[in-house]
A and B are shown apart, each in its own frame.
Chain A
């Protein structure tokens, strides 16, 4: 007999690792994402009820698929047949597949996990859905996180998030957004990678003293899902680049927040960086660059690599980083890139040159890091009073507790 914690662990692992692809398979089979998700939830509930007495089955993914498929059929039978007929007629879909179709062969590695899961990720990150929704759907359907977990991670009420997800599922159904592999995969993968980076950044910037301890680590989730996408996309350079970028940044997690306060890069205790993870990111980046198809994530990863591989802050090659930011600004112009470039320019040509870059940025008045950066550059330029004013603006705009704590104090350096 399995103990409760064993079953809980197994269920969490199953939800995170396999629920997504089972949803994808069932959704494709029945042409109904909502039904698929409900069926997989039913199956997980049944597992929670049965496994404590029956024990955890050897092949949990296969069990989940089998039971979810049966639950989907149960749900369809319960639903009003006339309604189903009407919907089928309207959608022109063949809804009779479950009776005629033989059960697919399902062995441990037998079910083609790649294809179905990629379709589901592409669906969740369809450009016809807004970015917030893409994030929520990806974590829910692909990542197997619960609505509660996602809501807590993004500090929004569960009801808001549940609404966002159900609105998205309604649009997927009403507008007939397909579970398909597009001809131009490259273009759509770009949206997927952007979504994964959004998830990572949310984890990175919201990690703070006030975050609940049970909160899901969005950085780790983003890395896990990006790793999946790297595999599903034939290890495309930009996917590898993004995974490397996340790896370099995530390796600094233990040095980044001390006593609930954010520690800036040049002040961090570099012995607390996870060197093994930096090495892994180095080889991923190397792999990406060998393909010679540069992209914005690879460029950002190269910049992050320069920081991650510098033993001391003084070892940082700011000249090279400055040149990389210039390339990035050309490839993907954005005011946020300009803020980072201003720092690199300062390190190479001094704070006055850096402030000139900042002065030309439009539209970041409400972005705390713009003011925080400006404060630091003003301080370096000896314009102490203006620096203090900018710091206070940054403090007022910052929401993350660790950042707020750093910005609450006048720098003593």
Chain B
């Protein structure tokens, strides 16, 4: 099974450490360790972090084929998507275990099975 794990967190509360500071190095090392473990165990398919939601653009498409483009995410929510992982896992419990180990200090993870992927 493959699962998409979407990482939601409050952007205003995300750590904002300057590169080179010990806090930044420690945070990066947590992420590197986690990613490497995921790759080594064969559970990693892909993943990445997103630029802040202020850089997002929403494109809406209607049934009649018309489109409109607006600034920002469509809903004002406290937590925004900040990154994602696509993982291979035995079952939901396994995927949830992986999600629990993701080193973000606070946030929510949406864990959803992949139904179909043309390149898989």
Task: Write out the residue numbers on chain A whose beta carbons fall within 8 Å of the beta carbon of B93.
Answer: 177-178, 180, 182
B85 to chain A, nearest CB (A): 16
CB of B91 within 8 A of CB of A178, answer: yes
Task: Write out the residue numbers on chain B whose beta carbons fall within 8 Å of the beta carbon of A91.
Answer: 1
B74 to chain A, nearest CB (A): 26
Q: How far is the CA of A175 from the CA of B112 in the complex (A)?
A: 7
Task: Write out the residue numbers on chain A whose beta carbons fall within 8 Å of the beta carbon of B90.
Answer: 176, 178
Q: How far is the CA of A259 from the CA of B13 in the complex (A)?
A: 59
CB of B1 within 8 A of CB of A177, answer: no
Determine if B82 is an interface residue (Cβ-Cβ < 8 Å). no
**Chain A residue at minimal CB-CB distance from B112:** A175
Task: Write out the residue numbers on chain A whose beta carbons fall within 8 Å of the beta carbon of B113.
Answer: 174-176
In the complex, per-residue mask of B106-120: 1 if CB is within 8 Å of any chain A CB, else 0: 000001110100000
Q: How far is the CA of A126 from the CA of B111 in the complex (A)?
A: 15
Task: Write out the residue numbers on chain A whose beta carbons fall within 8 Å of the beta carbon of B112.
Answer: 175
1-56 of chain B: CB within 8 A of chain A: 1
**Chain A residue at minimal CB-CB distance from B114:** A90
177-236 of chain A: CB within 8 A of chain B: 177-178, 180, 182
Most chain A C-beta atoms within 10 Å of own C-beta, residue among B91, B111, B115: B91
B73 to chain A, nearest CB (A): 25
Q: How far is the CA of A36 from the CA of B115 in the complex (A)?
A: 23
64-93 of chain B: CB within 8 A of chain A: 90-93
Task: Write out the residue numbers on chain B whose beta carbons fall within 8 Å of the beta carbon of A178.
Answer: 90-94
In the complex, per-residue mask of A146-159: 1 if CB is within 8 Å of any chain B CB, else 0: 00000000000000
Q: How far is the CA of A178 from the CA of B113 in the complex (A)?
A: 13
**Chain A residue at minimal CB-CB distance from B88:** A92
Q: How far is the CA of A203 from the CA of B93 in the complex (A)?
A: 32
Q: How far is the CA of A92 from the CA of B96 in the complex (A)?
A: 19
Q: How far is the CA of A174 from the CA of B113 in the complex (A)?
A: 7
Q: How far is the CA of A182 from the CA of B92 in the complex (A)?
A: 12
Task: Write out the residue numbers on chain A whose beta carbons fall within 8 Å of the beta carbon of B91.
Answer: 176-178, 180
**Chain A residue at minimal CB-CB distance from B113:** A175
Most chain A C-beta atoms within 10 Å of own C-beta, residue among B1, B90, B93, B113: B93
Q: How far is the CA of A92 from the CA of B115 in the complex (A)?
A: 13
In the complex, per-residue mask of A111-145: 1 if CB is within 8 Å of any chain B CB, else 0: 00000000000000010100000000000000000
Q: How far is the CA of A126 from the CA of B91 in the complex (A)?
A: 13
Q: How far is the CA of A252 from the CA of B91 in the complex (A)?
A: 44
B119 to chain A, nearest CB (A): 15
Q: How far is the CA of A204 from the CA of B62 in the complex (A)?
A: 51
A167 to chain B, nearest CB (A): 15
Task: Write out the residue numbers on chain A whose beta carbons fall within 8 Å of the beta carbon of B94.
Answer: 178
| Extra pairs beyond A126-B92, A176-B113, A177-B91 (10, CB < 8 Å) | A128-B96, A175-B92, A175-B111, A176-B91, A177-B93, A178-B91, A178-B93, A178-B94, A180-B93, A182-B93
List 25 A-B residue pairs with CB atoms under 8 Å apart, sorted by A's residue number. A91-B1, A92-B1, A126-B92, A128-B92, A128-B96, A174-B113, A174-B115, A175-B111, A175-B112, A175-B113, A176-B1, A176-B90, A176-B91, A176-B92, A176-B113, A177-B91, A177-B92, A177-B93, A178-B90, A178-B91, A178-B92, A178-B93, A178-B94, A180-B91, A182-B93
A contacts, CB < 8 Å to B: 91-92, 126, 128, 174-178, 180, 182
Q: Which 5 A-B pairs have the closest CB atoms?
A: A178-B91, A176-B91, A177-B92, A175-B92, A176-B1
B contacts, CB < 8 Å to A: 1, 90-94, 96, 111-113, 115
